[in-house]
A and B are shown apart, each in its own frame.
Chain A
Amino acid sequence: MTNTDSIGWLGVPLAIMAGAIRGSSPFLFVSLGECLTEKSGKINLGLEGTLLLGAMSAYAISYKTGSPWLGVLAAGAAGAVLGSIHAWLSQRPRVNDIAVGIAMFIFGSGLAFFIGDPYIQPMAPPLPGIQLGNWSQLPQLQSALKISPLLVAGIALAFVFHWFFLNTRWGMFIRAVGDNPAAARAQGISVVKVRTLSIMTGSFMAGIGGAYLSLVYPGSWTRLVSSGQGLMAVALVIFARWDPRRCLYASLLFGGAQAVGPALQAAGVQSYYYLFNAAPYILTLGIMIFTCSPKRSLAGAPGALGSGE
């Protein structure tokens, strides 16, 4: 946590900025993953379980092999396996994707806790960071500007996804399947295949988000390593109106908002700490109340989302 003793109130905006840089990556990866999933017309509420299993796998593999990058890969693979279960189940007739998501959330977190218990104690090698703050004298600024390569990859992916959805054949397939599966099927697109791949890739990304939690920040594996970023993914995607670039901005905002409470506490404001922690949720809810309308669906929402088709 950034220490505000020496620089006083200046520490608060600095801590928020540091929080945005440090805490946004898990949000970014899960929201990009969920965005991809929802674009194909299905919801995955189980990404919290995926995130936890990813965090555990990354930490365990990094500890066993000594290579954090192998850990990241393992986290993605573990996520994709959970994703394949979700993809298969949620496309059965009469099976509700929201219910499957909650069951996957419980199953995934149970599995992560079950396998992960022996890895709570040992120290796994963390992912190295890129130091961009050497020009500054302030240690706070230096630590704030230590950027993880995963964040860089996530930012790049947000723009790649945007381009992918608009300009590639597969991007078009995903949007077609998400908007109108019947029409897509008539065009000869395999709805099952497109959705399965979208959900698995989305879960792969959520797994990597988990790897960030255990290998970068907070940087260890415990049962409390995630603070609900996976469950929030669904809200984030709505907040971002299913636009990958806006997922990036929303993630930075949520990461920064997460740091408001602790920063104010460090600056001496003790009360309202917990309410500040809820700021992102209140903000999302407020924005939804103001921008939604009962007469039409949200701009940008995939047509088949939540229809059970």
Chain B
Amino acid sequence: MSTIATLATTANPAPAEPVSRNWRVLVESVVIPVGAILAALVVFGVFCGLAGASPFSVYHSIYRAAFGNWYAFQNTLVRAAPIMLCALCTALPMRLGLVVIGNEGALVMGGLGTVLVGANWVTAPHYVALTAMALAGMAMGGLWIMAVGAMKLYRGVNEVISSLLMNYIAIAILNHLVNGPMHDPSSLNKPSSYPIPDANLLGNIPGSRVHFGLIYGIVACLITWVLIEHTSFGFKVRMIGGNLRAARIAGLAVGKISLTVCFLGGAAAGLAGMAEVAAVQGSANESLVTGYGYAGILVAFVGRQHGLGVLLVSILLGGILASGGMLQRVNHLSDATVLVFEGMVFLVILYSESLYGRFRIFQEKAA
């Protein structure tokens, strides 16, 4: 009893002050991102006004196309699914202090792995085939990013550059395979690999038009959250990210942990590739390279490399991307409008990071 009581008092030494500070910090962490999004909306509104469209009509279109009703929200979720998986590919290694931007490449490799299994093993029963495809996609994506981690660990190769180069190499491999060894002669307009048989495609969540990739994404984000924030493995990861030397001195297996985390990140992006191939495209082709990877990098930064943050920001971005068609049809704006909006939102949110601690009202009052 007494030990528990001491523990309780040491863990919570002076309740009054931290509580008041905690709610102020909490309010700050809500007000600043919401304020940033509002500010981005204002800037974007001015931009639309200059382009000759009514800002309020544009806001209305975005809201309707992204979150207006269940039908529209499903479009948002379909786009959010690969983004959240890709974001984990940056978010996980970043907890180690590595900035990996090879998401696009890992997604492509994951898609190739999926097709390699799915298009060749056509007799496999549905769930066996799906499991095998998911494992192949994750393995390919995982190994791809693990290679980036290994180059950093053993050769000191800057991970930003190596992963960027690996994107181009992955895309070249994709183009080579779908135009050469894996080419399906019946795909005339868009060179594609042999398709995955319809029976083995990844279906939709019952009662919706959203494929199961969304479930993969949500589960992966939740696993990341628990793994990094609430396990001893996650503590080690954060320790390596916080102070590499201290982690080495403390005897952590830095190499093994780093490579594992890189593998997990790449596996997430590979799973995104699997879902894109097995649920959306049906085969591997250049449509896999749609910028989900680069969007994922930003989502990881804006979501603060946190599993739940990534989940939330992905849905927001999915909504922005889903509004492209509506902006074209209703407001007669170019399809590039969503890119401009996406860029603005992220720039303003990144700027807002520098505002934490700048407002007196969110600070603890001096005693």
* A235-B336 contact in complex given A92-B351, A107-B344, A292-B156, C-beta closer than 8 Å: no
A114 touches B51 (CB 8 A): yes
* Interface check A192, CB cutoff 8 A: no
A292 to chain B, nearest CB (A): 4
A281 and B172 within 8 A (CB): yes
Q: Which one of B109-117, B127-135, B173-181 is at the A interface?
A: B173-181
Least CB distance from A14 to B in Å reads 24
A contacts with B, residue count (CB < 8 A): 52
Question: Which candidate, B2-10, B72-80, B163-171, B227-235, is the interface stretch facing chain A?
Answer: B163-171
User: Which residue of chain A has the shortest Cβ distance to B346 in the bound complex?
Assistant: A103
A166 at the interface (CB under 8 A from B): no
Cβ contact within 8 Å between A99 and B297: yes
Distance in angstroms from A265 CB to nearest chain B CB is 11
Query: With A94-B354, A113-B334 known to touch, is A99 a contact of B301 (CB < 8 Å)?
Result: yes
Alpha-carbon distance A228/B294, docked complex (angstroms): 13
Docked pose: A114 CA to B341 CA in angstroms = 11
Cα–Cα distance between A277 and B176 once the two chains are bound (Å)? 10
- Complex contact A285–B340 (CB within 8 A): no
Nearest-neighbor residue (CB-CB) of B158 within chain A: A238
Tell me if B99 is interfacial: C-beta within 8 Å of chain A: yes
Q: Who on chain A is nearest to B151 by CB?
A: A289
**Per-position contact with A for B169-202: 1 when CB-CB < 8 Å, else 0?**
1011101100110000000000000000000000
Is A107 a contact partner of B168 (Cβ separation < 8 A)? no
Query: Residues of A contacting B343 with CB < 8 Å?
Result: 103-104, 106-108, 110-111
- Judging by beta carbons under 8 Å apart, are B154 and A95 in contact? no
Tell me whether A272 is interfacial, beta carbon within 8 Å.
yes
Interface membership of A275, Cβ < 8 A = yes
Alpha-carbon gap, A274 to B298, bound state (A): 29
Enumerate B260-289 residues with CB–CB distance to A below 8 Å: none
The docked-state distance in angstroms from the alpha carbon of A80 to that of B335 is 25
Docked complex Cα distance between A108 and B351 (Å): 17
Is the Cβ of A275 less than 8 Å from the Cβ of B172?
yes
Q: Does A231 contact B (CB under 8 A)?
A: yes
Known A-B contacts A95-B353, A95-B354, A103-B346; the reply to A231 vs B180 at CB < 8 A is: no
Identify B340's interface contact among A114, A271, A275, A282, CB under 8 A: A114
B101 CB–A CB distance under 8 Å: yes
Asked if B218 lies at the interface with its beta carbon under 8 angstroms from chain A, I say: no
Q: A289-B155, A294-B152 are in contact. List 7 more A-B contacts (CB 8 A).
A: A95-B353, A98-B99, A99-B298, A99-B301, A103-B298, A107-B339, A306-B158
Q: A residues engaging B (CB < 8 A)? A: 43, 45, 85, 89, 92-96, 98-100, 102-114, 117, 228, 231-232, 234-235, 238, 271-275, 277-278, 281-282, 284-285, 288-289, 292-297, 306
12 CB contacts below 8 A, A to B, read A45-B160, A89-B351, A94-B354, A106-B295, A107-B346, A110-B338, A110-B342, A117-B334, A277-B172, A288-B151, A294-B152, A295-B156
The 4 A-B pairs at the shortest CB distance, nearest first, are namely: A107-B343, A110-B339, A278-B172, A113-B336
